[in-house]
Amino acid sequence: MSLHITSTTEGQLQVHLITKQKQYAVPDVPYSIRANVGATELNVLLSTLLKDSGKGGERKVQFDFLLNGEFVKTSLSQHLKERDISFEDSIEIEYVERYPAPEPQDCLLHDDWVSAVQAKDGWILTGTYDNTVNLWNTKGKHKLTIPGHVAPVKGVAWISLNEQTGVFASASHDQTVMIWEWNVTTNSVECVHVCKGHERGVGCIAVNPSKTQMASGSMDTMLKIWSTELHGDKGEPSATKKAKLEQDNVRTPVITLAGHREFVSGVQWIDDTTVATCSWDHTIKLWDLTLGGIKTEFTGNKSFFDLSYSPLNGMIITASPDKNLRLYDPRSKHGNFVKNTYLGHTQWVQTCRWSTTNEYLFISGAYDNRVKLWDYRSPKAPIFDLIGHEDKVLACDWSNPKYMLSGGSDNALRVFKSKIAVNNEDD
Protein backbone atom coordinates (compact mmCIF):
# COMPACT_ATOMS: atom_id res chain seq x y z
CA MET A 1 0.00 0.00 0.00
CA SER A 2 1.43 3.43 -0.89
CA LEU A 3 1.01 6.47 1.31
CA HIS A 4 0.80 9.86 -0.33
CA ILE A 5 3.70 11.89 1.08
CA THR A 6 4.96 15.04 -0.62
CA SER A 7 8.61 15.02 0.49
CA THR A 8 10.89 12.22 -0.64
CA THR A 9 14.06 13.38 1.11
CA GLU A 10 13.74 11.18 4.20
CA GLY A 11 13.76 7.81 2.41
CA GLN A 12 12.05 4.60 3.46
CA LEU A 13 11.73 2.68 6.71
CA GLN A 14 11.09 -1.01 7.27
CA VAL A 15 8.59 -1.39 10.10
CA HIS A 16 6.88 -4.24 11.91
CA LEU A 17 3.48 -3.37 13.39
CA ILE A 18 2.74 -5.21 16.62
CA THR A 19 0.02 -4.99 19.28
CA LYS A 20 -0.94 -6.68 22.54
CA GLN A 21 -4.63 -6.15 21.63
CA LYS A 22 -5.10 -9.37 19.69
CA GLN A 23 -8.41 -8.31 18.14
CA TYR A 24 -6.49 -5.64 16.19
CA ALA A 25 -3.47 -7.74 15.18
CA VAL A 26 -2.26 -7.49 11.55
CA PRO A 27 0.10 -9.88 9.71
CA ASP A 28 3.60 -9.75 11.24
CA VAL A 29 5.49 -8.88 8.07
CA PRO A 30 7.73 -5.90 7.31
CA TYR A 31 6.01 -2.88 5.76
CA SER A 32 7.96 -0.30 3.80
CA ILE A 33 6.83 3.25 4.57
CA ARG A 34 8.20 6.77 4.16
CA ALA A 35 10.20 7.98 7.15
CA ASN A 36 8.36 11.28 7.46
CA VAL A 37 4.94 9.81 8.26
CA GLY A 38 3.25 10.39 11.63
CA ALA A 39 0.33 8.91 13.56
CA THR A 40 -2.27 10.09 11.02
CA GLU A 41 -0.69 8.21 8.11
CA LEU A 42 0.04 5.17 10.26
CA ASN A 43 -3.66 5.09 11.18
CA VAL A 44 -4.59 5.13 7.48
CA LEU A 45 -2.21 2.23 6.84
CA LEU A 46 -3.50 0.27 9.83
CA SER A 47 -7.12 0.87 8.90
CA THR A 48 -6.46 -0.59 5.43
CA LEU A 49 -4.56 -3.58 6.83
CA LEU A 50 -7.34 -4.32 9.34
CA LYS A 51 -9.96 -4.08 6.61
CA ASP A 52 -7.92 -6.42 4.38
CA SER A 53 -7.66 -9.00 7.18
CA GLY A 54 -11.40 -8.77 7.91
CA LYS A 55 -10.97 -6.95 11.26
CA GLY A 56 -12.22 -3.55 10.17
CA GLY A 57 -15.54 -3.77 11.99
CA GLU A 58 -18.25 -1.13 12.07
CA ARG A 59 -16.50 1.19 14.54
CA LYS A 60 -13.58 3.20 13.21
CA VAL A 61 -10.80 2.73 15.74
CA GLN A 62 -7.95 5.23 16.11
CA PHE A 63 -4.57 4.10 17.39
CA ASP A 64 -1.53 5.62 19.06
CA PHE A 65 1.95 4.33 18.23
CA LEU A 66 4.87 3.45 20.50
CA LEU A 67 8.49 3.15 19.56
CA ASN A 68 10.77 1.70 22.27
CA GLY A 69 7.99 2.22 24.84
CA GLU A 70 7.44 5.91 24.06
CA PHE A 71 4.55 7.46 22.15
CA VAL A 72 5.36 8.84 18.70
CA LYS A 73 4.12 12.45 18.72
CA THR A 74 6.09 13.71 15.69
CA SER A 75 7.05 12.17 12.35
CA LEU A 76 8.90 8.85 12.62
CA SER A 77 12.07 10.38 11.18
CA GLN A 78 12.13 13.18 13.77
CA HIS A 79 11.39 10.70 16.58
CA LEU A 80 14.27 8.45 15.45
CA LYS A 81 16.73 11.34 14.98
CA GLU A 82 16.01 12.77 18.45
CA ARG A 83 16.83 9.36 19.94
CA ASP A 84 19.77 8.43 17.69
CA ILE A 85 18.03 5.35 16.33
CA SER A 86 19.32 4.03 13.01
CA PHE A 87 17.10 4.34 9.92
CA GLU A 88 18.72 1.20 8.48
CA ASP A 89 17.33 -1.29 10.98
CA SER A 90 13.86 -2.76 10.83
CA ILE A 91 11.79 -0.86 13.40
CA GLU A 92 9.17 -2.37 15.67
CA ILE A 93 6.17 -0.10 16.21
CA GLU A 94 3.60 -1.06 18.82
CA TYR A 95 0.08 0.29 18.41
CA VAL A 96 -2.60 0.66 21.08
CA GLU A 97 -6.21 1.80 20.82
CA ARG A 98 -6.37 5.53 21.46
CA TYR A 99 -7.95 6.51 24.78
CA PRO A 100 -11.35 8.17 24.48
CA ALA A 101 -11.57 11.76 25.72
CA PRO A 102 -12.91 12.24 29.26
CA GLU A 103 -16.29 13.97 29.28
CA PRO A 104 -17.11 16.93 31.53
CA GLN A 105 -19.98 15.81 33.74
CA ASP A 106 -20.48 18.16 36.68
CA CYS A 107 -19.35 21.29 38.47
CA LEU A 108 -20.09 21.06 42.20
CA LEU A 109 -19.95 24.54 43.72
CA HIS A 110 -18.73 25.11 47.29
CA ASP A 111 -18.60 28.20 49.50
CA ASP A 112 -14.80 28.40 49.46
CA TRP A 113 -11.67 26.91 47.88
CA VAL A 114 -11.79 23.13 47.40
CA SER A 115 -8.46 21.87 48.75
CA ALA A 116 -9.07 18.12 49.21
CA VAL A 117 -11.09 15.44 47.42
CA GLN A 118 -11.47 11.66 47.45
CA ALA A 119 -14.16 9.42 45.98
CA LYS A 120 -15.27 5.95 47.01
CA ASP A 121 -17.93 4.05 45.09
CA GLY A 122 -20.81 6.48 44.55
CA TRP A 123 -19.66 9.08 47.12
CA ILE A 124 -17.29 12.05 47.03
CA LEU A 125 -15.64 13.71 50.03
CA THR A 126 -14.32 17.25 49.72
CA GLY A 127 -12.42 19.49 52.13
CA THR A 128 -12.58 23.27 51.85
CA TYR A 129 -11.08 26.52 53.08
CA ASP A 130 -14.26 27.33 55.04
CA ASN A 131 -13.11 24.59 57.48
CA THR A 132 -15.79 22.07 56.46
CA VAL A 133 -15.89 18.58 55.02
CA ASN A 134 -18.58 18.03 52.38
CA LEU A 135 -20.21 14.85 51.19
CA TRP A 136 -21.66 14.53 47.67
CA ASN A 137 -22.88 11.67 45.57
CA THR A 138 -21.43 11.09 42.10
CA LYS A 139 -24.70 12.30 40.57
CA GLY A 140 -23.83 15.77 41.89
CA LYS A 141 -26.20 15.92 44.87
CA HIS A 142 -24.89 17.55 48.04
CA LYS A 143 -25.59 15.31 51.07
CA LEU A 144 -23.82 16.88 54.06
CA THR A 145 -21.75 19.82 55.22
CA ILE A 146 -19.69 18.74 58.21
CA PRO A 147 -18.33 21.45 60.55
CA GLY A 148 -15.78 20.65 63.24
CA HIS A 149 -12.39 21.88 62.08
CA VAL A 150 -11.37 25.46 62.89
CA ALA A 151 -9.01 25.96 59.93
CA PRO A 152 -8.93 24.89 56.23
CA VAL A 153 -9.29 21.17 55.52
CA LYS A 154 -6.30 20.01 53.46
CA GLY A 155 -6.84 16.26 53.25
CA VAL A 156 -9.74 13.79 53.20
CA ALA A 157 -9.58 9.98 53.09
CA TRP A 158 -12.13 7.18 53.15
CA ILE A 159 -11.48 4.41 55.68
CA SER A 160 -14.50 2.17 55.06
CA LEU A 161 -17.90 2.28 53.41
CA ASN A 162 -20.86 -0.08 53.28
CA GLU A 163 -24.61 0.38 52.87
CA GLN A 164 -25.11 1.37 56.52
CA THR A 165 -21.94 3.20 57.55
CA GLY A 166 -19.15 5.28 56.12
CA VAL A 167 -15.95 6.04 58.03
CA PHE A 168 -13.54 8.73 56.85
CA ALA A 169 -10.84 11.07 58.07
CA SER A 170 -10.08 14.74 57.52
CA ALA A 171 -6.82 16.64 58.07
CA SER A 172 -6.67 20.34 58.73
CA HIS A 173 -4.45 23.34 59.28
CA ASP A 174 -5.90 23.34 62.81
CA GLN A 175 -3.23 20.67 63.61
CA THR A 176 -5.73 17.81 63.96
CA VAL A 177 -6.96 14.82 62.03
CA MET A 178 -10.59 13.88 62.72
CA ILE A 179 -12.15 10.46 62.24
CA TRP A 180 -15.85 10.59 61.34
CA GLU A 181 -18.59 7.98 61.38
CA TRP A 182 -21.43 8.59 58.92
CA ASN A 183 -24.77 6.84 59.28
CA VAL A 184 -25.83 6.43 55.64
CA THR A 185 -29.49 5.68 56.46
CA THR A 186 -30.12 8.72 58.68
CA ASN A 187 -27.49 10.83 56.84
CA SER A 188 -25.98 11.96 60.14
CA VAL A 189 -22.32 12.16 61.09
CA GLU A 190 -20.35 12.04 64.33
CA CYS A 191 -16.73 12.86 65.09
CA VAL A 192 -15.48 9.70 66.81
CA HIS A 193 -11.84 10.66 67.32
CA VAL A 194 -9.70 13.79 67.20
CA CYS A 195 -6.11 12.82 66.45
CA LYS A 196 -3.78 15.22 68.24
CA GLY A 197 -0.01 15.40 68.19
CA HIS A 198 1.03 17.60 65.27
CA GLU A 199 2.34 21.01 66.33
CA ARG A 200 1.51 22.79 63.07
CA GLY A 201 -1.06 22.42 60.29
CA VAL A 202 -1.65 18.98 58.77
CA GLY A 203 -1.40 19.06 54.97
CA CYS A 204 -1.95 15.50 53.80
CA ILE A 205 -3.41 12.18 54.87
CA ALA A 206 -3.59 8.62 53.52
CA VAL A 207 -5.06 5.30 54.72
CA ASN A 208 -3.12 2.01 54.46
CA PRO A 209 -4.24 -0.81 52.12
CA SER A 210 -5.76 -2.87 54.95
CA LYS A 211 -7.56 0.25 56.34
CA THR A 212 -6.16 -0.25 59.86
CA GLN A 213 -3.89 2.80 60.01
CA MET A 214 -3.50 6.21 58.46
CA ALA A 215 -0.51 8.48 57.92
CA SER A 216 -0.42 12.27 58.13
CA GLY A 217 2.18 14.82 57.05
CA SER A 218 2.47 18.25 58.61
CA MET A 219 4.14 21.65 58.52
CA ASP A 220 5.86 20.56 61.74
CA THR A 221 8.00 18.31 59.42
CA MET A 222 6.69 15.14 61.10
CA LEU A 223 5.09 12.03 59.68
CA LYS A 224 2.63 10.48 62.14
CA ILE A 225 0.86 7.11 62.00
CA TRP A 226 -2.55 6.71 63.65
CA SER A 227 -4.93 3.82 64.28
CA THR A 228 -8.16 4.00 62.29
CA GLU A 229 -9.98 1.67 64.69
CA LEU A 230 -13.32 3.24 65.57
CA HIS A 231 -13.88 2.04 69.11
CA GLY A 232 -10.76 1.27 71.11
CA ASP A 233 -10.25 -0.38 74.47
CA LYS A 234 -12.98 0.58 76.93
CA GLY A 235 -11.30 -0.67 80.07
CA GLU A 236 -9.35 2.39 81.22
CA PRO A 237 -10.30 3.85 84.64
CA SER A 238 -11.46 7.48 84.60
CA ALA A 239 -12.46 10.17 87.10
CA THR A 240 -15.79 11.12 85.60
CA LYS A 241 -17.86 9.92 82.70
CA LYS A 242 -17.43 13.25 80.90
CA ALA A 243 -13.66 13.21 81.31
CA LYS A 244 -13.67 9.62 80.13
CA LEU A 245 -15.60 10.54 76.97
CA GLU A 246 -13.22 13.39 76.20
CA GLN A 247 -10.25 11.16 76.84
CA ASP A 248 -11.71 8.49 74.55
CA ASN A 249 -12.29 11.06 71.86
CA VAL A 250 -8.65 12.19 71.68
CA ARG A 251 -6.28 9.84 69.91
CA THR A 252 -2.49 10.01 70.02
CA PRO A 253 -0.16 8.73 67.29
CA VAL A 254 1.03 5.11 67.15
CA ILE A 255 4.41 6.34 65.93
CA THR A 256 6.02 9.68 65.02
CA LEU A 257 8.74 9.71 62.37
CA ALA A 258 11.20 12.61 62.16
CA GLY A 259 13.51 13.11 59.19
CA HIS A 260 12.11 15.79 56.89
CA ARG A 261 13.36 19.33 57.37
CA GLU A 262 10.33 21.15 55.94
CA PHE A 263 6.59 20.71 55.31
CA VAL A 264 5.63 17.09 54.56
CA SER A 265 3.42 17.86 51.56
CA GLY A 266 2.44 14.40 50.34
CA VAL A 267 1.98 10.94 51.85
CA GLN A 268 1.13 7.55 50.29
CA TRP A 269 1.24 3.95 51.48
CA ILE A 270 3.35 1.52 49.44
CA ASP A 271 2.11 -1.40 51.57
CA ASP A 272 1.01 -1.87 55.19
CA THR A 273 4.55 -1.37 56.55
CA THR A 274 5.97 1.16 54.05
CA VAL A 275 5.02 4.82 53.65
CA ALA A 276 6.26 7.25 51.00
CA THR A 277 6.42 10.98 51.74
CA CYS A 278 7.50 14.06 49.82
CA SER A 279 8.44 17.43 51.22
CA TRP A 280 9.32 21.02 50.50
CA ASP A 281 12.85 19.99 51.59
CA HIS A 282 13.41 18.55 48.04
CA THR A 283 13.31 14.92 49.21
CA ILE A 284 11.14 11.83 48.84
CA LYS A 285 11.50 9.37 51.70
CA LEU A 286 10.37 5.76 52.02
CA TRP A 287 9.75 4.82 55.65
CA ASP A 288 9.88 1.33 57.12
CA LEU A 289 7.30 1.25 59.91
CA THR A 290 8.58 -2.05 61.27
CA LEU A 291 12.01 -0.52 61.91
CA GLY A 292 10.62 2.96 62.57
CA GLY A 293 13.01 4.74 60.23
CA ILE A 294 13.93 5.77 56.69
CA LYS A 295 14.44 2.92 54.20
CA THR A 296 15.25 4.93 51.04
CA GLU A 297 15.63 8.59 50.17
CA PHE A 298 15.67 10.44 46.83
CA THR A 299 16.74 14.05 46.50
CA GLY A 300 15.33 16.33 43.82
CA ASN A 301 16.42 19.85 42.92
CA LYS A 302 13.04 21.42 43.71
CA SER A 303 10.37 21.23 46.40
CA PHE A 304 7.77 18.51 46.06
CA PHE A 305 4.12 19.50 46.45
CA ASP A 306 2.52 16.06 46.04
CA LEU A 307 3.22 12.44 45.18
CA SER A 308 1.17 9.44 44.10
CA TYR A 309 2.15 5.77 44.21
CA SER A 310 0.73 3.14 41.85
CA PRO A 311 0.59 -0.47 43.09
CA LEU A 312 -0.01 -1.45 39.44
CA ASN A 313 3.46 -0.38 38.25
CA GLY A 314 5.36 0.19 41.52
CA MET A 315 6.27 3.76 40.56
CA ILE A 316 5.81 7.21 42.07
CA ILE A 317 4.77 10.37 40.26
CA THR A 318 5.58 13.76 41.84
CA ALA A 319 4.37 17.36 41.42
CA SER A 320 6.69 20.35 41.76
CA PRO A 321 6.77 24.16 41.47
CA ASP A 322 9.06 24.02 38.41
CA LYS A 323 5.98 23.09 36.29
CA ASN A 324 7.17 19.50 35.95
CA LEU A 325 5.93 16.11 37.01
CA ARG A 326 8.53 13.39 37.50
CA LEU A 327 8.33 9.62 37.43
CA TYR A 328 10.41 7.79 40.05
CA ASP A 329 11.10 4.08 40.24
CA PRO A 330 12.04 3.28 43.87
CA ARG A 331 13.34 -0.16 42.77
CA SER A 332 16.14 1.31 40.60
CA LYS A 333 19.50 -0.04 41.70
CA HIS A 334 21.99 2.35 40.14
CA GLY A 335 20.93 5.77 41.37
CA ASN A 336 18.93 6.70 38.25
CA PHE A 337 15.60 6.92 40.04
CA VAL A 338 14.00 9.57 37.77
CA LYS A 339 12.57 7.66 34.81
CA ASN A 340 10.91 10.59 33.05
CA THR A 341 9.93 14.24 33.28
CA TYR A 342 6.55 15.53 32.10
CA LEU A 343 6.31 19.15 30.99
CA GLY A 344 2.97 20.57 29.92
CA HIS A 345 1.79 22.80 32.74
CA THR A 346 2.76 26.49 32.68
CA GLN A 347 2.60 27.09 36.45
CA TRP A 348 3.28 25.27 39.75
CA VAL A 349 1.99 21.70 39.69
CA GLN A 350 0.09 21.22 42.93
CA THR A 351 -1.43 17.76 42.75
CA CYS A 352 -1.18 14.38 40.97
CA ARG A 353 -2.92 10.98 41.13
CA TRP A 354 -2.45 7.67 39.36
CA SER A 355 -5.32 5.77 37.80
CA THR A 356 -6.27 2.85 40.04
CA THR A 357 -7.04 0.56 37.08
CA ASN A 358 -4.59 1.51 34.31
CA GLU A 359 -0.86 1.28 35.00
CA TYR A 360 0.07 3.95 32.41
CA LEU A 361 -2.30 6.80 33.28
CA PHE A 362 -2.23 9.64 35.80
CA ILE A 363 -3.79 13.08 36.21
CA SER A 364 -2.29 16.33 37.46
CA GLY A 365 -3.59 19.74 38.50
CA ALA A 366 -1.73 23.06 38.55
CA TYR A 367 -1.88 26.77 39.20
CA ASP A 368 -2.45 27.28 35.42
CA ASN A 369 -6.14 26.30 36.04
CA ARG A 370 -5.59 23.07 34.14
CA VAL A 371 -6.06 19.39 34.88
CA LYS A 372 -4.12 17.14 32.52
CA LEU A 373 -4.39 13.44 31.76
CA TRP A 374 -1.04 11.77 31.04
CA ASP A 375 0.23 8.43 29.81
CA TYR A 376 3.66 7.91 31.35
CA ARG A 377 4.93 6.71 27.95
CA SER A 378 4.26 10.19 26.55
CA PRO A 379 6.53 12.62 28.44
CA LYS A 380 6.43 15.41 25.85
CA ALA A 381 2.70 16.11 26.04
CA PRO A 382 -0.43 15.12 27.98
CA ILE A 383 -3.08 13.02 26.25
CA PHE A 384 -5.90 15.38 27.18
CA ASP A 385 -6.44 18.74 28.87
CA LEU A 386 -9.46 18.73 31.20
CA ILE A 387 -10.61 22.33 30.91
CA GLY A 388 -13.12 24.06 33.18
CA HIS A 389 -11.45 25.52 36.26
CA GLU A 390 -11.32 29.30 36.34
CA ASP A 391 -8.61 29.48 39.00
CA LYS A 392 -5.80 27.39 40.51
CA VAL A 393 -6.27 23.62 40.81
CA LEU A 394 -5.49 22.54 44.39
CA ALA A 395 -6.46 18.85 44.56
CA CYS A 396 -7.32 15.95 42.28
CA ASP A 397 -8.52 12.37 42.67
CA TRP A 398 -9.07 9.29 40.51
CA SER A 399 -9.95 6.75 43.23
CA ASN A 400 -13.17 5.79 41.48
CA PRO A 401 -12.04 4.70 37.97
CA LYS A 402 -15.15 6.28 36.43
CA TYR A 403 -14.53 9.82 37.66
CA MET A 404 -11.60 12.23 37.42
CA LEU A 405 -12.15 14.83 40.14
CA SER A 406 -10.46 18.16 40.74
CA GLY A 407 -10.94 20.93 43.29
CA GLY A 408 -9.81 24.51 42.88
CA SER A 409 -9.67 28.04 44.23
CA ASP A 410 -12.65 28.83 41.96
CA ASN A 411 -14.69 27.07 44.72
CA ALA A 412 -15.54 24.30 42.25
CA LEU A 413 -15.19 20.56 42.20
CA ARG A 414 -15.05 19.48 38.55
CA VAL A 415 -16.16 15.98 37.64
CA PHE A 416 -14.98 14.38 34.38
CA LYS A 417 -16.38 11.03 33.34
CA SER A 418 -13.58 8.68 32.32
CA LYS A 419 -14.59 6.66 29.29
CA ILE A 420 -11.42 4.59 29.68
CA ALA A 421 -12.62 2.61 32.67
CA VAL A 422 -16.22 2.29 31.61
CA ASN A 423 -16.10 1.18 27.97
CA ASN A 424 -17.70 -2.12 28.90
CA GLU A 425 -19.69 -1.03 31.93
CA ASP A 426 -22.91 0.75 32.60
CA ASP A 427 -22.91 3.54 35.16
Average pLDDT over residues 218-232: 94
pTM exceeds 0.75, yes or no: yes
Sequence-distant (6+) residues with CB within 8 A of 252 are 195, 196, 197
Split at pLDDT 50, 70, 90, the class of 226 is very high
Split at pLDDT 50, 70, 90, the class of 105 is very high
Q: How far apart are the first and last CA of the chain?
A: 42
Rounded to 5°, angle at Cα 178 from 171 and 267: 35
Rounded to whole angstroms, the Cα distance separating 203 from 171 reads 7
Split at pLDDT 50, 70, 90, the class of 245 is low
- Determine the pLDDT at residue 161: 97
Split at pLDDT 50, 70, 90, the class of 248 is low
pLDDT tens profile 332-366? 877 678 999 999 999 999 999 999 999 999 999 99
Residue 424 in this model has a pLDDT that exceeds 50: no
**What does DSSP assign to residue 24?**
G
Highest mean pLDDT among 14-23, 341-350, 418-427: 341-350
More confident residue, 61 or 255: 255
Rounded to whole angstroms, the Cα distance separating 157 from 205 reads 7
Q: Which domains does the chain have, with CATH numbers?
A: 12-97 (3.10.20.90), 103-228+248-417 (2.130.10.10)
Helix, coil or strand: residue 352: strand
